[in-house]
A and B are shown apart, each in its own frame.
Chain A
Amino acid sequence: MVIVYGVVTALLGAGVFFTLVGSIGLLRFPDFYTRLHATGKCDTLGGGLVILGAMIYHLFQYSGTLLVIAKLAFLVFFIFIANPTATHAIMKAAYKAGVEPWCLGEERR
């Protein structure tokens, strides 16, 4: 059980790390496209890792309710498909609306 707790702790810690790095990127980067570049990947991976840790915890703590694990697996699958699609849709809309990409030496926007 100690090994399972260690694995769950490592997965939750990695997920929190990626989530916080994505949030700092959204806060600190100079441009719209670079901000979405930071969050579109970090947030997907962070959420997936946290839910994966929860799945492993559930499998060894409350064994017998496999429906909940199926729900969480579907949630990971859906986040991994839907989040990059939404990011791509916003970025394409901004590109068609005429948001200029940031070049080196320009002002922060």
Chain B
Amino acid sequence: MITLFWATALFILLGMLLCLYRAVAGPGVFNRVAAVNVIGTKTTVLLVVMGYYFERPYFFDIALLYAMINFIGTLVFAKYLERGELWS
């Protein structure tokens, strides 16, 4: 059963690699922000799976924190690109 979680982590890493190409080579800033947001969501899922692989439940707290920080970061970046400034 641990092998199944290991294989899941490997496939999620493959998906993150595909998204990383778009984050590096994507034309324009919006493609890059969207790709980084997708990589952050995949990282949350990867932390949960790795918590079962290493049998350490403390990884789920890190996953919760990472999901919140990813959401706030994406939202702030979108507002900055929309207005041109942060505080207005």
Residue ranges of A at the interface with B (Cβ–Cβ < 8 Å): 5, 8-9, 12, 15-16, 19-20, 22-24, 26-27, 32, 35-36, 39, 43-44, 46-47, 50-51, 54, 57-58, 61, 65, 68, 71-72, 74-75, 78-79, 82-83, 85-87, 89-90, 92-94, 96-97, 99, 109
**Are A43 and B38 neighbours in the complex by a CB distance under 8 Å?**
yes
B interface, how many residues as a size bin? 35 or more
Chain B residues, CB < 8 A from A79: 41, 44, 67
Complex Cα distance A39/B13, Å? Answer: 16
A78: chain B residues at CB < 8 Å are: 64, 67-68, 71
Interchain residue pairs with CB less than 8 A apart (20): A16-B8, A22-B38, A24-B18, A26-B18, A26-B34, A26-B38, A27-B19, A32-B31, A50-B48, A51-B45, A57-B52, A61-B1, A72-B48, A78-B71, A79-B41, A83-B41, A86-B71, A90-B78, A97-B82, A109-B27
Q: A65-B57, A75-B63, A99-B30 are in contact. Are A87 and B22 (CB under 8 A)?
A: no
When the two chains form their complex, are residues B60 and A19 in contact, meaning their CB atoms are under 8 A apart? no
B87–chain A nearest beta-carbon distance, Å:
17
A9: min CB distance to chain B, Å: 6
Binding site for A on B (CB under 8 A): 1, 4-5, 8, 11-12, 14-16, 18-19, 21-22, 27-28, 30-31, 33-35, 37-38, 41-42, 44-45, 48-49, 52, 57, 60-61, 63-64, 67-68, 70-71, 74-75, 77-79, 81-82
